[in-house]
Amino acid sequence: MIHSRNRRLRVNQSIRSLIRENTLTTDDFVMPIFVMEGENKQEPIPSMPGIFRRSIDLTVKECKELFSLGVKSVNLYMKVSDHLKDNTGKEAWNKDGLMQNTIRAIKNAVPEMIVMPDVALDPYSIYGHDGIIENGKILNDATNDALARMSVSHAEAGADIVAPSDMMDGRVLTIREALEENGFTDVGILSYAAKYASSFYGPFRSALDSAPKDDMEIPKDKKTYQMDFHNSREALNEVYKDVEEGADIIMIKPGLPYLDIVSKVREAIDLPIAVYNVSGEYAMVKAAAQNGWLDNDKTIIESLTCFKRAGADMIFTYFAKEAAMILNR
């Protein structure tokens, strides 16, 4: 005779909901947003159906709608004009730059929206790299100084949390010290501590024109600073260092192919963990759904819930708005 029957707790929706271990809500989402110059402008990103580059005015409108749906955090990326790019990234800390003006506009229109600007030089670099280049190499410490200036500029504009995604050694400490020295003690740092050199970033790089340029004099990819996808123990080493340097939140990127990393980091630290459901993951689901191979809504909710089950506290995802609509229904 069978005494223990696990199916007793699956017999109907009410019981399944009662014992559910993880629940997905709109509070879990951070929406990445692409911003471009101009006014009343919106451009679709072909490889990411439903995602757009928008001018500041339309970005503010989008943020208002997101907040009304329950999505209370946005992550900002700039489509920088070519004539503003160089090897120093100096446009990144222009007080009247596109990023700074966007931060101010969002905070003025939706004060309670958490604004997390991306901190990296690749959108501002003529080479498409996350660092300053000299003699064919990425300069780590000089890049850190630039990232610190960029972070302080974001804080001055009203950013709540800065999000360095560059993977330079020691940049969290450099940024933390710069924020403290300039009086921004309440501005948080969300560190991309375990960011892998992944093939899943393709649609994102096309959206910002931030892929490394094909130049024999510079590295052809980002593997000298982003992590080798074969490794997992290395991720913990990176995370521990960023925690020691003053990170407030730890990011793992990409997401779905790296749930093992999310789980390992969750077991190792008590800080909040973010995970990035990246552009390639988004594009795959959308392509399959458009071909009728997957149920769009069910796949979105299942995928995002998997991040919670693995141990993530927040999810950066291009599905944020759509998922909020599904959950609100």
Residues 208-245 have pLDDT tens digits of 666 676 665 778 888 889 999 999 999 999 999 999 99
How far lies 153's CA from each of 90, 92, 146, 148, 161, in Å?
A: 11, 8, 11, 9, 12
What number of CA atoms fall less than 13 Å from residue 117's CA on the CB side?
Answer: 32
Specify whether the CB–CB gap between 206 and 45 falls below 8 A. Answer: yes
Distance CA 191, CA 170 (A): 11
Domains of the chain, residue spans: 23-328
Whether residue 111 is predicted with pLDDT greater than 80 in this model: the reply is: yes
Helix (H) or strand (E) holding 316: strand 314-317
If you average pLDDT over residues 36-59, what whole number do you get? 96
**Helix-strand-coil percent breakdown of the chain, rounded to 5?**
45, 20, 35
Q: 95: Cβ–Cβ under 8 A, 6 or more apart, which residues?
A: 153, 156, 157
Tell whether 37 is in a known binding site: no
If you average pLDDT over residues 130-143, what whole number do you get? 93
CATH number of this structure's domain 23-328, picked from the four choices 3.40.50.300, 3.40.50.2000, 3.30.2130.10, 3.20.20.70: 3.20.20.70
User: Is the bond into 32 cis (omega within 30 degrees of 0)?
Assistant: no
Distance CA 281, CA 52 (A): 17
Residue in this structure with the two tokens 């959206």, named with its chain if needed:
207
How far lies 174's CA from each of 80, 166, 184, 196, in Å?
A: 25, 13, 14, 22
**R_g (Cα) of the chain, nearest Å:** 20
Residue 178: what residue type?
A
Active site residues: 195, 253
Handedness of CA 304, 310, 311, 316 (dihedral sign): negative
Of 44-48, 104-108, 161-165, 285-289, give the lowest mean pLDDT range.
Answer: 44-48
Q: 297: Cβ–Cβ under 8 A, 6 or more apart, which residues?
A: 326
What is the share, in percent, of the chain residues with pLDDT greater than 70? Answer: 98
Whether residue 114 is predicted with pLDDT greater than 90 in this model: the reply is: yes
Whether residue 207 is predicted with pLDDT greater than 90 in this model: the reply is: no
Whether residue 287 is predicted with pLDDT greater than 70 in this model: the reply is: yes
How far lies 37's CA from each of 78, 135, 211, in Å?
A: 9, 32, 20
Helix axes 56-69 and 98-109, enclosed angle (nearest 10) = 40
pLDDT for 160? 98
**Helix, strand or coil for residue 251?**
strand
Kindly give the residue spans of alpha helices, DSSP state H, lying in 198-252. 202-208, 233-245
